[in-house]
Homo-oligomer: A and B are copies of this chain.
């Protein structure tokens, strides 16, 4: 069995951002030399997500508006978590809707994807350095 680990680093310019990281994960897979296996990609921070969906700017804005409706950022007093001095209570909730991680099949050295699958980093409390783990096992 082979294994490979890489941490990707992000520092997004806005509080909320979506970043297509598919090519970075592809390069990690190429570096790993693994041909058959499973590839885990997860946010290492708890106010961010890794998810798979469409590379379409309108949809990404739809996600942002929808998540803001489900878990509004303001008023900050809405969340007990913000009494600790944080202002990111909403971000912890939004991340649960979008998910922490994806697991992708690796087949013949490629991410085993359907036609439109793209891996996204979803940031809900940005403007500081954060990491995404890529861990691949297989042979």
User: How distant is the Cα of A38 from the Cα of B137 in the complex, in angstroms?
Assistant: 8
7 A-B pairs with CB atoms under 8 Å apart are A38-B40, A46-B53, A56-B81, A59-B80, A62-B80, A70-B70, A107-B135
A71 touches B66 (CB 8 A): yes
User: Distance in Å from the Cβ of A102 to the closest Cβ of chain B?
Assistant: 7
Residue of chain B at shortest CB distance from A130: B114
Interface pair B46/A58, CB less than 8 Å apart: no
Size range of the chain A interface in the assembly: 35 or more
Judge whether A84 and B66 touch: CB under 8 Å.
Answer: no
A52→B100 contact, CB < 8 A: yes
Task: Check B98 against A99 for contact (C-beta < 8 Å).
Answer: no
A5-B105, A96-B99, A112-B135 given; name 20 further pairs at CB < 8 Å.
A1-B139, A3-B139, A38-B38, A40-B103, A44-B114, A52-B100, A53-B96, A56-B81, A56-B84, A58-B79, A58-B80, A58-B83, A59-B79, A59-B80, A62-B80, A63-B92, A100-B102, A103-B103, A107-B135, A137-B138
Pairwise interchain contact A133-B116, C-beta atoms closer than 8 A: no
Instruction: Scan residues 63-100 of chain A and give those whose CB is less than 8 A from a CB of chain B.
Output: 63, 66, 70-71, 79-84, 89, 92-93, 95-100
**A42 sits at the interface (CB 8 A):** yes
**Residues A117 and B1 in contact, CB atoms below 8 Å apart:** no
